[in-house]
Amino acid sequence: MHPVQQAARSAAFPVEAPPSLTDPQVIAEHEWAAFAALPGLGNHWQRPGWGPDTRRYYWFLTVDHAPKIAELARRCQEPLEGDGFDIVPSDGLHVTICRVGDPHEITERTLDDLASAARLRCGALPAFDLQAIPVAGSRGAVRMSLAPWEPLLALHRAVGTACREVGIDKPHPTQDFRPHLGVAYCNQETDAAGIRKTIAKLRTLQPQQFTVNEVQLVELRRENRVYRWDVKHTVPLHSAAPRTKAST
């Protein structure tokens, strides 16, 4: 059995991984079923440990090179505007791979060492294509499912191993990783049944594909209930030249 298919801690959502890590329909149905079991959504912004001055390092995938993903996200967001959600802007769309740590814990030298270790690990991984599939939700957000999971899990293991090689132990185990692409964050306690009714029709929208050819080490912050980040390092996958992206 693949390690991600074992029972995960309750912090993961869905708690269980899908029965297939490659079939887009199975993954999407599994995530919708988990969302359908939720009685309500909580306020995403009330996570402990976050404040206006908080900064945290993460490994991210960004989709600024994929306008069709931004277009699809916008169509998924339209029914949620003014309904207790904060819409993720097109330049804020991202896939969180894992948390690295906070600036007071990690020096710039360690970040440089981490990027070097990640280049060795990720350079052995081929670039890959993902589908963004409308639409599901979590305990505090509406999001698109991603498929297949297998290359994402391999990437998570690679950057997690790189973190541990330089003495950083923040990344959660890969078995707890649940890849997704958030499109709107809930900003109040909300009845889930009404949200499901609002977004159910979006599940007929055609999935869109994008290519992952790099992973970025970012310093994340919040600005008026929007996530913004500065790119610290960009690490290409195998046979992929890094893209140039201005820091935000």
Residues 157-185 have a mean pLDDT of 95
Give a yes or no: residue 3 inside a domain: no
Residue 151 in domain:
yes
What is the rounded distance in angstroms from the CA atom of residue 245 to the CA atom of residue 220? Answer: 15
| Contacts by 33-39, CB closer than 8 A, 24 or more apart | 34/136, 35/136, 35/137, 35/138, 35/192, 35/196, 36/196, 38/137, 38/139, 38/192, 39/191, 39/192, 39/193
Which CATH number fits the domain that encloses residue 92?
3.90.1140.10
240 with 127: CB under 8 angstroms? yes
pLDDT digits (tens, 9 = 90+) for 194-227: 999 999 999 999 999 999 999 999 999 999 999 9
Residue 15 lies in a domain: no
Question: What distances in angstroms separate CA 156 from CA 3, 95, 172, 175, one per listed residue?
Answer: 13, 11, 9, 10
Mean pLDDT calculated for residue range 137-144: 97
Residue 81: inside a domain, yes or no? yes
Closest CA to 127 of 60, 211, 68, 69: 211
- Provide the token pair at 141: 């957000």
Write down the mean pLDDT value for the chain.
Answer: 92
Q: Helices (DSSP H) in 15-98: which residue ranges?
A: 24-36, 67-77
Q: What is the DSSP-derived secondary structure letter of residue 140?
A: S
The answer to whether the peptide bond before residue 171 is cis (omega within 30 degrees of 0) is: no
**Does residue 232 lie within any of the structural domains?**
yes
Percent of the chain with pLDDT over 90: 86
- What letter represents residue 111's amino acid? L
For the chain, the domain total comes to 1
106 found inside a domain: yes
Query: Which pLDDT value is given to residue 49?
Result: 87
CA dist 36 → 9, 14, 33, 133 (Å): 20, 11, 5, 16
**What's the whole-number mean pLDDT along residues 41-59?**
93
In a domain, 147, yes or no: yes
Are 73 and 89 within 8 A, CB to CB? no
Residue positions counted in the chain:
248
Q: Identify the band that residue 4 occupies on the pLDDT scale cut at 50, 70 and 90.
A: very low
Q: What is the pLDDT of residues 67-120, one digit of tens each?
A: 999 999 999 999 999 879 999 999 999 999 999 999 999 999 999 999 999 999
Q: What is the pLDDT of residue 195?
A: 96
pLDDT at position 241: 52
Domain of 152 in residue numbering reads as: 21-46+55-236
In a domain, 169, yes or no: yes
| pLDDT tens profile 18-28 | 999 999 999 99
